[in-house]
Amino acid sequence: MDMTAVVKTEHFDVLIVGAGISGIGGAYHMTHQMPGSSYVVLEAEETFGGTWWTHTYPGIRSDSDLHTFGYRFKAWVGAPIATADEILKYMGDVIEENDLAPHIRYKHRIARALWSSKDALWTIEATRTDTGEQFRFTCNFLWMCQGYYRHSEGYTPEWKGMESYKGRIAHPERWPADLDYKGKNVVVIGSGATAATVVPAMAEDVAHITMLQRSPTYFRAGRNAIEIAETLRELQIDETWIHEITRRKILHDQSVFAKRTFEEPEKVRDELLAGVRAHLGPDYDIDTHFTPSYRPWRQRLAFVPDGDLFKGIASGKASVVTDEIETFTETGLKLKSGQQLDADIVVTATGFNLCPLGDIAFSIDGKALDFHDTVTYRGMMFTGVPNMIWVFGYFRASWTLRADLVADFVCKLMKHMRSKNARQVNVALRPEDKDMPLLDWIDSDNFNPGYMLRGMHLLPRRGDKPEWMHTQDYWSEKDEIPATNLDDAAFVYA
Ligand SMILES: Cc1cc2nc3c(=O)[nH]c(=O)nc-3n(C[C@H](O)[C@H](O)[C@H](O)COP(=O)(O)OP(=O)(O)OC[C@H]3O[C@@H](n4cnc5c(N)ncnc54)[C@H](O)[C@@H]3O)c2cc1C
């Protein structure tokens, strides 16, 4: 970037990258936990929402319940599984009720972040996406809420013959606004939460829709309602109480469930499959289409509210094919079994491209940062990267549970720095950590979605001690993170 054209440099104590659910949460916590500190949120898109703003495919909704995907500080009053619009409305209410809007700058895409130890400052270079104007900011602390995947393009594998296909190919991450699928034959490639959402949402309007999967996924079907919340509402209990009690109940049930997936995976598997069978009947080939080879919860488990995916299949409007693509043809797909699937539209629900640092070029004292060279402190901070925190949420539990936990941690850390008169904090391996084996960011035996495996070389490494691991375990972190001893030798202040 040619910074000679820079208009001015503005300084803030804290700069938050991104106005998705994590960044708006960060702004809330800055306002309430750090009054008197200045902060700004820079967001590349034209408005807030992140994931919930950029995704517009049919049926787009959460697969987590909003009592736990919502913030702990703002009651969720709707049905637990929410549409993107409902989530955006909820976030908009948080912005309005807490007067966060003056702190947010939209259409600011950050290209570079440069740390100077001499000045104990980050310099952030951003460009206005509409005018091309360039801006420079300095801040003491960088709060990274940029998410984990590239919003501008989804992941589409290279298949043979794609160029010869005469129909339209659409990726759910950039859904074409003009895509008319009424009366058309559609094939959706993929079997994750996105495919499970798109298929029932499109089923009514299309001629036929086929979910083509290489291998099956675990689904959990259930009513889009939470009994305890319904009962408490009937009793006219205050919504803030309902939110907290329902959160606790959901988290309790999830912890029991998660434990069972490790202790008695076969039994859990049988229960999940029985749930699918109850919708599809005794004659449906569940073994082929809905019985994964992996242990439940090794990948995100997709919730099917009110069984809508299965209802679509049972009605005959939707079907599932479990096979591999041999090649695209002019009219659709030829599968390895020899079957031909004709399609006017192919939807590639094939996942993300991992993008750990929001495509921002980082440098530390003039040296380009390779994130893979760093070791993570609890998946939040990184050796050799001072005054920076990254909000990377949970996958098995709701993302936002961790966004709230990390926010508390960073506010406490910044207050601690103030009390010590420290201008910078770094995490560093202690003498006892020096021979610690350095491993991949996440244990792929424990959790192994494709985008993570494809991008492991872009991610920091972890050690084998709790401080240096990224456990993705809410139930241990909810106690461990708040109890962090900020005077431990792993924190180096200057
Ligand atoms: C379709 C879909 C459904 C999901 N459903 C769930 C669910 O039900 N439950 C769950 O727990 N998780 C779910 N997830 C995961 C989800 O991404 C997170 O839960 C959460 O929304 C992420 O929020 P975030 O604010 O951390 O990041 P994001 O939502 O990705 O927002 C990051 C923001 O940062 C901005 N940004 C990035 N780089 C830059 C830059 N260089 N300069 C300026 N701005 C930048 C982006 O424009 C974006 O607005 C889902 C993901 C997808 C894609």
Mean pLDDT per 10-residue run, the chain (494 residues)?
A: 66 98 98 98 98 96 96 97 98 98 98 98 97 97 96 90 97 95 97 92 96 93 95 98 98 91 92 94 94 80 90 94 97 97 96 91 98 96 98 92 98 98 98 94 77 88 94 93 97 98
Residue 175 burial (CB count, 10 A): 17
Q: Which atom of ligand 1 is nearest to the CA of 403?
A: 26
> In the prediction, which pLDDT does 115 show?
98
> pLDDT tens-digit profile of 301-338?
888 999 999 999 999 999 999 999 999 999 999 999 99
Q: What angle separates helix 21-33 from helix 84-97, to the nearest 10 degrees?
A: 20
pLDDT of residue 58: 97
pLDDT in the model for residue 301: 80
CATH superfamily, domain at 156-350: FAD/NAD(P)-binding domain (3.50.50.60)
Alpha helices in 281-374 (DSSP H): 286-289, 308-314
Q: Look at ligand 1, atom 21, and give the residue with the nearest C-alpha.
A: 51
E-assigned strand segments in 9-103: 9-17, 39-42
Q: What is the pLDDT of residues 101-118, one digit of tens each?
A: 999 999 999 999 999 999
Helices and strands, number each (H, E), in the chain: 13, 23
Q: Do 3-151+354-493 and 156-350 come out as alike in CATH topology?
A: yes
Give the number of the atom of ligand 1 that is nearest the alpha carbon of residue 62.
8
- Write the residue with the smallest CA distance to atom 39 of ligand 1: 358
Q: How far is the CA of 395 from the centre of ligand 1 (A)?
A: 12
At 1 the pLDDT is: 52
Question: Residue ranges per domain, the chain?
Answer: 3-151+354-493, 156-350
Total Cβ atoms within 10 A of residue 412: 15
List the residue whose alpha carbon is closest to atom 51 of ligand 1. 51
pLDDT for 74 equals 98
How, if at all, do strands 208-213 and 185-189 pair? parallel
Tokens standing for residue 369: 């940062």
- Angstrom distance (rounded) from CA 450 to CA 455: 8
What's residue 2's pLDDT?
54
Q: How far is the CA of 52 from the centre of ligand 1 (A)?
A: 7
Please tell me the distance between residue 148's alpha carbon and the centre of ligand 1 in angstroms: 7
CA atoms in the 13 A half-sphere facing the CB of 6: 14
**Token digits for 65?**
């319940």
Please choose from 146, 171, 194, 398 the residue to mutate so as to test ligand 1's pocket, defined by most ligand atoms within 8 A of CB: 146
Residue 7 has a pLDDT of 66
Rounded CA gap, 50 and 43, in Å? 9
Between strands 302-305 and 219-222, the pairing is: parallel
CA distance 248 to 141: 32
pLDDT in tens, 414-442: 999 999 999 999 999 999 998 999 999 88
Burial (CB count <10 Å: 0-12, 13-18, 19+), residue 398 = buried
Q: Which CATH number fits domain 3-151+354-493: 1.10.8.100, 3.30.230.30, 3.40.30.160, 3.50.50.60?
A: 3.50.50.60
- The C-alpha atoms of residue 479 and residue 3 are separated, in whole angstroms, by 45
Contact (CB, 8 A) for 17 and 142: yes
Residues with CB under 6 A from ligand 1: 17-23, 42-45, 50-51, 55, 62-64, 69, 109-110, 145-147, 151, 194, 358-360, 391, 393, 398-399
Sheet holding 318-322, edge to edge: 168-170, 345-348, 185-189, 208-213, 318-322
Q: pTM for the complete prediction? A: 0.95
